[in-house]
Structure 1
Amino acid sequence: MDAGRLDEGLVSLFDGESLAGWHTAPRTYGTLWPGGPEVGEVLPLADGYFDDAVEFEAVWAVVDGAIEGRQDPRKRGFGGYLVTDQTYGDFELILEMRPDWPADTGVMLRRSSDSWAGYQVLVDHRESGSIGGFFGHGIAPFHAVPFALNVERDDSGEPIGLIEDDPATSVEPFTEDKRDLLVEAGSAAEFLAAWKWDDWNELRVRMTGAKPRISTWVNGVPVATLDAATLEYPHYDADAALELLGTRGHIALEVHDNDPLVGEKRWAPTSACRWRNIRIREL
């Protein structure tokens, strides 16, 4: 994954003062893949989930020059997206992120304007999470990651840094077949050496092609590359994904909901994700 030049043609997507150029959307679900079952048919969502997800969607604000996303304090457990008004095709996206622990967030790419579908760069800053890997929303639920993460705690139980997840105690075990979905996969050791705990970290994403090739770097360290044209995964069809998403789509930041499988280990009541210095170069 060639780092390339980062200093030409970058346009800011965030003015540091307002959410101009962005709009909010609730985190609701659709089908698992084009023509497939609804997520609610396979995931045990609570009665009234979809109504509550709309009424209590994530709260977004600008705080100290950064975008901050939280679950709605009136009724926690539901998520949402902050979505660019404009759509983008091929691009390089560079931003800084600072998620609390635990906060399961991410960056949606080529997100549809009227559904949850799109490619997601994971920023799962929680137990057994992945940062810089990929997930398929509405195009087949592939989980393409090079490694999984957990947290190191001090003697009082306070989190003090990231470590590699232990498969023996994992809530979402990492398996080599997840790594094999990637055409390039970075090492946990290099990622952990570069990650800055309780501080700002830079995420860079490069996305090119109608059936896109997507690469990620964190603090300049290569993390993962997905080739959507050659990806093989149950129910994933590159042509169907292209027909659904097209060659352009929205970019979106995520606040995850607390699903019945992981609960508050996915998003703690006091957690927030923060984003700043969001810049893009169209290719």
Structure 2
Amino acid sequence: MFAAVGFADGGAIDPAQEAWYKKYKSQQNAPKPDEMLLNTDPEPDLSEGFVDLFNGEDLMGWTPKGGTCKYEVKDGALVGTVTPGSNSTYLSTDKTDFKDFVFTCEMKWEVDGNSGVMFRAQTKPGKNGETVFGPQAEMEGISGDRYWNGGIYGQSCGGYFYPVWLKEHKQARAALDREGWNRLTISAQGNVIKTWVNGVPVAHWVDDGTYSEGFFGLQIHKGAKGIVHWRGIRVKEL
């Protein structure tokens, strides 16, 4: 069960995040800082009841959507590589009706690049084929000065549902290991979504019911470069 709801203390924007706040505060999905909830829960127990979504050998059970970035299996890990000129690409589970769950995986970067994990994702027709849209647990990479890993982005549906810009998010912004593996955990129970990065609580977002079920998708963002590794991709349906 979730712990008591935690509210941000007056929605205090961290001074180090002021420029990002000014950039995103008018975005369609941007929350009011003083209305943001805090994730104060410990990371869920990941030891029992999980099934593997990736077999460590091939891409069985997964299909790329949205672009032509490359996915392959190397040394038991799933590796995604940017294809210059491609749209963002999402290696997506063939199962499309995940509802309530705890999802976890480990990620690391061989070459820096924006990434993340779509959940309860959906598709719609786009200008150049199929468009993946819905909530994404952001894993933005190992450089830059934003540090919103574990935040929740509305991919192709209006931008950040949960930016990691408050003073209370300082520990969350420091959670990423920029050289090694990083564990991302997502809990979805009803309309309450929470995330953790390396066991550190990050997001607490309450959906309005729009995204109640869908598929998981591993993002390789469009760009000039980027190589991301995944392993330990598991889910426990609730």
Q: Counterpart in 2 of 1:70? A: 81
Matched, 1:11 2:20: no
| Alignment partners' CA distance in 1, 2:85 and 2:79 | 16
Higher strand share: 2
- Output one character per residue of 1:127-146: Cα deviation in whole Å (capped at 9) or x when no partner: 23520001112443235222
Matched, 1:248 2:224: no
Native 8 Å contact 1:191 1:221 kept in 2 = no
- Output one character per residue of 1:10-61: Cα deviation in whole Å (capped at 9) or x when no partner: 000001111111001124xxxxxxxxxxxxxxxxxxxxxxxxxxxxx10100
Give secondary structure in 2 for the equivalent of 1:98.
strand
Q: Counterpart in 2 of 1:97? A: 107
| Alignment partners' CA distance in 2, 1:138 and 1:77 | 16
TM, length-normalised to structure 2:
0.72
Native 8 Å contact 1:92 1:280 kept in 2 = yes
Q: Counterpart in 1 of 2:89? A: 80
Q: Runs in 1 of length 4+ with deviation above 4 angstroms? A: none
Paired residues, number = 189
| Alignment partners' CA distance in 2, 1:18 and 1:278 | 13
- Output one character per residue of 1:129-179: Cα deviation in whole Å (capped at 9) or x when no partner: 5200011124432352224xxxxxxxxxxxxxxxxxxxxxxxxxxxxxxx4
| Alignment partners' CA distance in 2, 1:213 and 1:13 | 23
| Alignment partners' CA distance in 2, 1:218 and 1:121 | 10
Identity over aligned residues, as a percent? 31
Which amino acid in structure 2 is aligned with residue 252 of structure 1? G
Q: Which runs of 5 or more residues in structure 1 are unaligned?
A: 28-56, 148-178, 180-184, 230-237, 259-267
| Alignment partners' CA distance in 1, 2:207 and 2:111 | 30
Matched, 1:136 2:101: no
Which amino acid in structure 1 is aligned with residue 235 of structure 2? I
Q: 1:111 to 1:281 in 2, by over 3 A?
A: same
Matched, 1:195 2:211: no
Q: Counterpart in 2 of 1:166? A: none
Q: Counterpart in 2 of 1:107? A: 117
Q: Counterpart in 2 of 1:204? A: 185
Q: Counterpart in 1 of 2:231? A: 276
Q: 1:213 to 1:278 in 2, by over 3 A?
A: same
Give secondary structure in 2 for the equivalent of 1:112.
strand
Name the larger-Rg structure. Answer: 1
Pairs within 5 Å for 1:24-39: 24-27=64-67
Report the CA distance between 1:6 and its aligned residue.
2.0
RMSD over equivalenced CA pairs, Å: 2.1
Which amino acid in structure 2 is aligned with residue 60 of structure 1? Y
Q: Counterpart in 1 of 2:128? A: none
| Alignment partners' CA distance in 1, 2:103 and 2:92 | 14
